[in-house]
Structure 1
């Protein structure tokens, strides 16, 4: 287990970062410092189609943008289970082979996978995954600490996303509605949660799409992710 003092010190470092881009880098940097992993891939996740999209990866050779990665996580049971249960998951050996998509040809050197969901309350907004560990075998008693890290990161990301300029693009209510769409809520669910009419929800969505210069809801959500609001 990671000590409470060490964990809090690292989270304070993350909270002190003001730039969204630097924050993404620091999320992985601190993750590598806290846990016995040698690589880390940061992915955003949307329940709309269960789609995961790459953001950046970090390993000994440096940082790499991985925006070309787009996957339906239902093809990867370990990822889908980690997201559904909002708990860090690890698999290795034969179990790893069973958990990976049959369409992927993985390097023979990779035989383990770790997935840490990034949660904001009950909603998973992304995850970190790793495939290289030191020392081996991986200590699965660390999984609760990794789960907590994902929850803390999710809280910080949602709290700071777009904080510097969101008011110049979307109103707070428009942003809330678009985030709820990204979480998979429908119009009725949003209306009930926010205590407004379904008509008003639709007006917020229409206004947000227009302000973002998007073609539809999915395009608008993609723009919000790209600009760092999600």
Structure 2
């Protein structure tokens, strides 16, 4: 099992990188370096439609964009469970056949799947999947705990980096509102959670749209994704 200290030290390397895309790619490199996984799929997640969208694929021999992957994660109980419980899940053998839809975009000759949610507090905004592992690897509760910690620490680092990068453009509240919109929260839900009025929420949205030079909410969210302010 990889210790939490080693995971922390390894991920500190991300702080030296300026490009958001480079940080995400390097994060997958560190993941494969630390753990007995031989491949990794980075998937962006939004609770709006329970949508998983591909970002990067990295193995020991190649790395590619996987934007063609778009899945309703409710079709995959193991992914839905990992996101709901905010902890890493693993299945193999017969359990794999029950947990993974036959139409899953991640094609593999292997019959195992590991899912690691990337989260910050109560938000899950992405996950990592692996389907190929080093020979004689045993995925037990201890290593699943390490995988879970990795996902939480990555989530914290991504959010802190985004907030630092966007600080000169949007206020902390404006960014929080736009991030919550990207995660599918309604104005009413945000007002209740953030303890502010719906009018104030709408004002934050209006000023964020203006600062981003966007035409509407969807355009603004797209700009935040494009600039690396949201995974």
TM norm structure 2: 0.89
How many residue pairs are counted as aligned between the two chains? 229
C-alpha contact (below 8 Å) 1:166/1:229 kept by paired residues: no
- 1:178 corresponds in structure 2 to 178
Structure 1 runs (4+) greater than 6 angstroms displaced? none
Q: Tell me which moved more, 196-205 or 209-218.
A: 209-218
Structure 1 distance, partners of 2:108, 2:161, is 40
Q: Distance in 1 between matches of 2:106 and 2:197?
A: 49
Distance in structure 2 (CA, Å) of the matches to 1:48 and 1:108: 28
1-side partners of 2:190 and 2:107: how far apart?
44
Question: How far 1:7 sits from its partner (Å)?
Answer: 2.1
Q: Secondary structure at the match of 1:52?
A: strand
What is the DSSP-based 3-state SS (H/G/I as helix, E as strand, rest coil) of the residue aligned with 2:168?
Answer: helix
CA distance in 1 between counterparts of 2:19 and 2:31 reads 18
1:143 — aligned with what?
144
Root mean square deviation of aligned Cα: 2.1
Tell me the residue number matched to 2:52: 52
- Do residues 158 (structure 1) and 127 (structure 2) align? no
Q: Following TM superposition, by how much is the alpha carbon of 1:14 offset from its aligned partner in structure 2, in angstroms?
A: 2.6
Q: 1:47 to 1:192 in 2, by over 3 A?
A: same
Do 1:41 and 1:130's aligned partners in 2 also have CA atoms closer than 8 Å? yes
Q: Which runs of 5+ in 2 are unaligned?
A: none
Counterpart position of 1:167? 168
| SS of residue in 2 equivalent to 1:147 | helix
Aligned-partner SS, 2:165:
coil
**2:119 is equivalent to residue 119 of structure 1:** yes
Flag the 1:216–1:138 CA change in 2: closer, same or farther, 3 A.
farther
1:63 and 2:63 matched: yes
Instruction: Single out whichever of 190-199 and 29-38 deviates more from structure 2.
Output: 190-199
Using the size of structure 1 for normalisation, the TM-score is 0.90
C-alpha deviation, 1:176, in angstroms: 1.3
> What are the Cα deviations for residues 115-172 of structure 1, in whole angstroms up to 9, with x where unaligned?
000010111010000011002343223100000000000000001016334523x333
Please tell me whether the aligned partners of residues 75 and 101 of structure 1 are also in contact (alpha carbons under 8 angstroms). Answer: yes
Superposition deviation, residue 216 in structure 1: 4.3
Distance 1:152 1:115, change over 3 A: same
Over residues 22-48 of structure 1, what are the superposed CA-to-partner deviations in whole Å (9 max), with x where a residue is unaligned? 210111011001110100011111111
After superposition, the Cα gap between the structure-2 partners of 1:163 and 1:113, relative to the gap in structure 1 and judged at 3 Å, is: same
Structure 1 pair 106/162, CA: closer, same or farther in 2 (3 Å)?
closer
Q: Which range moved further: 202-211 or 109-118?
A: 202-211
Gaps of 5+ in 1: none
Q: Secondary structure of 1:136's match?
A: coil
